[in-house]
Structure 1
């Protein structure tokens, strides 16, 4: 419980959850998979419940405690709500944890949590009294979703509070979908077919348990993310650019789809290394360069690309259940900043696209300002651009559900 609280405290103080968890695993290499999974699950679940733990603790605390103790109380409240039958064990674990970190506050934590247990029947009313705690999102986030999706906003918010699904992409160069599914079944892993190369697991499992993963027959990739390579649809012999490529899942999918000459760009050196590792496992090759895709002089040789994947930085609002720290870290004004960055990227990349070529604009966002509104402004600026329909519509807003995350796709063709 203390380790999970340390992760939550780091987010409260403005840190990135994934980075902090990776550092923690590096420092505790001896942890078994069960411990790693338990710490991760407890921290991620606590952070998904944005505002709910605070709604309970606000009724019980007279003054704000130190950040680590606040985080520990949030973790404990989450555990109490999820596993009421283990309530006294959870309280004891929290008290032991604070005794290790801040022994002087042991009595306070014990008193607050036992008082919380006595009043647990009141929690639903406390949480429901505010739209923030009721929906477990910041108020600005709720308003953006309501404005963009007036008929679906509650469902989208609810899905974002659930555990994400786990999907696999089958490398059809090395294995058939049915053969991969049979391997999973033999290992006791149930999966259903979602497409020609996509399997959805009934329950998430550790990557180490996946038969064929180390050999490059399958990769972990959300079913929605797998749409990118299919929509860009590269052909043998074409020159393809993956402009914001790390960690390399979409890069690999493009290379599995066709024999192309592919350049993968990534701004951060460490993330660029992950692209190479992914491609090596799959037996694929691409040119990988560390560069700012907007600075054409630093990487472009003047030869145009037939197809460009512009998977641009965004709010990640469509994958919030995988990255719940963004509820705590994002601010309303950040969205305009992302939109400005996206505009710079697509305007720069458009210069490198060959006449008749295709650029696929992708975000993992459900905010309109980053998606349809961004593309509308792009078309106003570029008279030589036209939208190529996706499923009989001008674009595609894929909303998160039980099978996939939330993504936006717009396919743009440069007129010859």
Structure 2
């Protein structure tokens, strides 16, 4: 018997929101239970519910007499899956009703069939009335968390950090992310690869002048990309592709990539600067280093891959100082919410202080591994100033041998903050620090 997609979506979103599991861990387990042709719909349902969670919760609130708790809790997420289908997909309403109600059996909550059917039909009638009367909901009267589908603590931090553009960031987080390509120039020039894309009838929308990153018009299966399995191209957001350029490795440099998994930046540095002396890719989670090895193998690149904690280099460092260090620090991930909407519900306000302490600790420890005159590039996929410009300013203030080097046209900027969807890129931050000669 085929698995019910709505039941799997309910289990997946329940595991993320109530159990704190990562969507990237949970979703593949559910995808493994279905035919590959249904993968897209299951992803759509899971991502959609997590993107619009507060709004969907608000949509069903008035139709439920008693909240679903305990063993019934998964039924609540089934209800959200049903409402999402009616509101945001082209699935016919009758199919959404039938499939969602049928999901009660595999979820072992058949006693909720009548309630779920009733709520969905009431919601559908309400939506039909609003359309018939041409009534647009006034989001200005809703709490910000519901209106913008983000947790209140995060909204407040954005309002403080970006008083003029906080709404733009929240709106951008709700978009579907674009697909960016990184051409392996050891095989083809960007121009040559564009010709290969054209021959394959794959349209591109934009080429970043700095990095030569290519943004496609539409996302496609990676196996349809010319030479993907041969290592001619990789998938990497345009913002992440700035790292190799900014690090600017020179021939015979000894390079360290801290917190390297899954290895995209490691591989880009090796492609961009093939004459470096050595590359060390470090990550604290040994399981995540499997992806680093896979990427290196596909791209036919070499690196010294080490499982170790950047905060305790004495446990893994061989004593050779590095000329260049990329520190892609552990962070809140708030710049990549559009790719990982579960971040909104997994990350908590109190996590930020813990992360900033960890970032500062790692920064201080890896700084000791850098040669005088060497360069450290600090990077995060966050849009929070506490993790970015404030973090770098604090480090420079506390370390007399650290000099901040401007990488934007404004010399007063502490680093380069890329906001979500700026030039269609993910939210990202870079700061370049040079160790002063003794």
TM over 0.5: same fold? Answer: yes
2:81 aligns with: 75
1:7 to 9, 12, 16: 12
Whole-Å Cα distance in 1 between the matches of residues 343 and 369 of structure 2? 33
Instruction: Report which stretch shifted further, 336-345 or 195-204.
Output: 195-204
Deviation (angstroms), 1:375: 0.7
Deviation (angstroms), 1:128: 4.9
1:296 to 313, 330, 346: 313
Instruction: Report which stretch shifted further, 355-364 or 188-197.
Output: 188-197
Give per-residue Cα distances to partners, 1:227-262, cap 9 Å, x unaligned: 111111111110000010000000000101112211
Query: TM-score under structure 2 normalisation?
Result: 0.91
8 Å CA contact retained: 2:360, 2:395: yes
Confirm or deny that 1:31 pairs with 2:45.
no
Aligned residues between the structures: 413
Confirm or deny that 1:193 pairs with 2:207.
yes
Confirm or deny that 1:334 pairs with 2:351.
yes
1:310 to 316, 324, 327: 327
1:346 aligns with: 363
Confirm or deny that 1:391 pairs with 2:378.
no
Deviation (angstroms), 1:123: 8.6
Give per-residue Cα distances to partners, 1:366-400, cap 9 Å, x unaligned: 01110111111101110111111102334100011
Whole-Å Cα distance in 2 between the matches of residues 382 and 167 of structure 1? 37
Whole-Å Cα distance in 2 between the matches of residues 272 and 176 of structure 1? 29
Confirm or deny that 1:400 pairs with 2:420.
yes
8 Å CA contact retained: 1:247, 1:275: yes
Task: Within 5 Å, give how 1:4-403 maps onto structure 2.
Answer: 4-13=9-18, 14-25=20-31, 27-28=32-33, 31-32=35-36, 34-65=37-68, 66-83=72-89, 86-101=92-107, 102-120=109-127, 121=130, 124=137, 128-191=141-204, 192-195=206-209, 196-258=211-273, 259-260=275-276, 261-393=278-410, 394-401=414-421, 403=424
What SS does the aligned partner of 1:200 have? Answer: strand
Whole-Å Cα distance in 2 between the matches of residues 216 and 8 of structure 1? 34
8 Å CA contact retained: 1:266, 1:292: yes
**Which ranges of structure 2 fall in alignment gaps of 5 or more residues?**
1-5
Confirm or deny that 1:414 pairs with 2:435.
yes
Whole-Å Cα distance in 2 between the matches of residues 216 and 190 of structure 1? 20
8 Å CA contact retained: 1:169, 1:198: yes
Whole-Å Cα distance in 2 between the matches of residues 339 and 294 of structure 1? 13
Deviation (angstroms), 1:126: 7.9
Whole-Å Cα distance in 2 between the matches of residues 20 and 302 of structure 1? 40
8 Å CA contact retained: 2:139, 2:147: no
Whole-Å Cα distance in 2 between the matches of residues 182 and 60 of structure 1? 55
Deviation (angstroms), 1:154: 0.5
8 Å CA contact retained: 2:85, 2:91: no
8 Å CA contact retained: 1:244, 1:266: yes
Whole-Å Cα distance in 1 between the matches of residues 155 and 139 of structure 2? 19
Whole-Å Cα distance in 1 between the matches of residues 218 and 39 of structure 2? 17
Whole-Å Cα distance in 2 between the matches of residues 206 and 358 of structure 1? 37
Give per-residue Cα distances to partners, 1:162-195, cap 9 Å, x unaligned: 1011100000001111222222222232113223
Deviation (angstroms), 1:105: 1.1
